[in-house]
Structure 1
Amino acid sequence: MMFPELFSLESNKRCVVADRIINHGSGNILCWNWRSPSSDPGFVSSLQQLSSLVAEVQVSDAEDRWIWSPDPAGSFSVKSVKWCLFADVAPENRFIMEWCKWVPAKVNIHSWRMEMGKIATGVALKNWNVQLGEPLCPLCGSDDESVDHLFIACQVASVIWNSISSWCKIPNIFAFSIKDLLGIYKEIRASESKKEAVQGIILIACWSLWRARNNLVFSNIEIRIDRILSKVKALGFLSFSSRSRHKGIDWAAWSSFVNM
């Protein structure tokens, strides 16, 4: 491929590099076997280039074998492939969602998929080549329905987060991305139990908003913010009182760190 004029003059077309190298104590000796040597300048130039490429080659008596270079032992493994895939990813750029232990699994899974942009919003469907018309937000109709818009920038979402902030007695919830929204409970100044509760409430609110959105799109059920908030409060109390480490908490205790 690289030196066709030299290949045409080679007497043995099936030779390998080792056939043309003789190991010597002081280095390698190149032993060519030309059918008819040529003094053509092109031949000489190509021969010099070829010689420089193979001059430092070290040939052993062992048979050729495949070696997986990322593994020091040379063996292939799925673990080493994963290491190669993530080696160039800066740890600070990776977001690892902390699952809330007391909310239902479907709520955690929804938030996890939401953060990855894997739920079927209008923008996502358009990117997946699912043609359903304009990808406008069905709740406000003011912008394309992306994940960030639906759960953060939409007017309905803004009202819900303001209401939850007041209900939980925390500063107003402002987020620029889903990552900010899912991690906002870490920034509030409160007890660990309240942070744990706020984390779950935010996840449940996202889940409830998504269900209300689907009811509007598929069943034409009108969006009512008070109904969404009622479901968040009720599901939050039932799950927190039965699934969290604070099992047995009553409604009065649940209301002690939220403003009913």
Structure 2
Amino acid sequence: MSTSFWKDLWLLDETLSCRFSKLYRLETEPNASVGDRVGWNGTFCLGEWCRSRVPRGRAVKEFEDLCGLINSVRLNLKKDDTWQVFIWRAKKRRLAVLTELDKRGIDLNLTRCPVCDDDVETVDHSLLFCKQASDTWSKVFDWWDIDEAESLSIGEIFGESASGSMSKIGAKIWQAVKWTCGYLIWQNRNQKVFAKKCWSTPVALNEIQVTSYEWVSKRCKSKHIDWHNWLHSPQSFVYE
């Protein structure tokens, strides 16, 4: 990729050096290409960003806004790749939550959860224990008539182990629902950070139902997934 990250018009209708001038002044390689500054997974590579010093003040806000813009574009990644990258990063606890950004040298005023403000924002908190995330998981487990929401862990959500008496195909369908829920909780969190708005729990549940249905129905060749049954008795698809 030879397009200049800072000086070419590739993301906005003005150069990034103009829009994010404070951040640009910290850059030690102003001619860096998009490929130099954006990773294969479509995220701004903080670890590879050649900066003269740690961002502070307004530069921190510019950094957060720039990350939000790049994450929304994702360099035309295929949707499957986007999900796979998210799942991998979630399992490794390498999502860009505030505590992780703080560890990497970004000078943040606060590291508390931007959604609930009840605790510091770790990956586990953001995806599982934040009140909005927890309420969303409870709704999903209620939808599937499964009573396990209180024992959730990152390993259980993003691992690939079977659940109880589910069939092999059923376990994969349920896994797809959990991955969808985790992914959309993260997307919702990002909306709160970058757009100052997020879905209510009922709206989040509806998004999960629609997105997971589209995902499963396109990939499950051995079962016909009926929309009405998906909404009202999804467990009928997963047990022998």
- Superposition TM-score, scaled by structure 2 size: 0.59
Report what 1:89 is aligned to. none
Contact 1:185/1:198, CA 8 A, preserved across alignment: no
**2:139 equivalent among 151, 163, 167:** 163
Match of 2:191 in 1: 215
Question: What is the rounded CA distance, in whole Å, between the counterparts of 1:176 and 1:193 in structure 2?
Answer: 21
Higher helix share: 2
Query: Aligned match of 1:115 in 86, 91, 95?
Result: 91
1:237 counterpart letter in structure 2 = Y
Q: What percentage of residue pairs aligned between the two structures are identical?
A: 24
The one-letter code sitting in structure 2 at the alignment partner of 1:174 is: E
Q: Is the 8 A contact 1:123 1:135 kept in 2?
A: yes
1:197 aligns with 2:173: yes
Contact 1:194 1:257 in 2 (8 A): no
Select the residue among 112, 127, 131 that pairs with 2:103: 127
Q: List runs of 5+ in structure 1 lacking aligned partners.
A: 1-102
Q: Check conservation: 1:161, 1:173, Cα contact below 8 A.
A: yes
Aligned-residue offset at 1:185: 5.8
SS at structure 1 position matched to 2:149: coil
Deviation of residue 221 (structure 1)?
Answer: 1.3
Query: What is residue 6 of structure 1 aligned with on the other side?
Result: none
Deviations 1:232-260 (A, max 9, x none): 1001111111122346522134344349x
Q: Distance in 2 between matches of 1:222 and 1:173?
A: 22
Q: Considering only aligned residues, what root-mean-square deviation do their CA atoms show, in Å? A: 2.2
Tell me, in whole angstroms, the C-alpha distance in 2 between the residues paired with 1:155 and 1:162: 10
Q: Which aligned runs of 4 or more in structure 1 are off by greater than 4 angstroms? A: none
Partner of 2:129: 153
Shift of 1:216: 0.9
Distance in 2 of aligned mates of 1:239 and 1:217: 26
DSSP 3-state at the match of 2:150: coil
Once the two structures are superposed, what CA deviation does each residue of 1:180-202 show, in whole Å capped at 9, x if it has no partner?
33248623332333211110111
Counterpart secondary structure, 2:146: coil
Question: TM-score of the superposition, structure 1-length normalised?
Answer: 0.55
**One-letter identity of the residue aligned with 1:257:** P
Q: Cα–Cα, structure 1 residues 185 and 198, in superposed 2: closer, same or farther, change >3 Å?
A: farther
- 1:1-260 aligned at under 5 Å gives the runs 104-175=80-151, 177-183=153-159, 186-246=162-222, 248-255=224-231, 256-258=233-235
List per-residue Cα deviations over 1:50-81 (Å, max 9, x = no partner): xxxxxxxxxxxxxxxxxxxxxxxxxxxxxxxx
2:140, 2:152 → 1: CA distance? 17
**Aligned-pair distance for 1:142?**
0.8
- Would the aligned equivalents of 2:189 and 2:198 in 1 still touch at CA under 8 Å? no
Structure 2 vs 1, CA of residues 227 and 185 (structure 1 numbering), >3 Å: closer, same or farther?
farther
Change (3 A) 1:184 1:173: farther
Query: Structure 2: how far apart are the matches of 1:114 and 1:134?
Result: 22
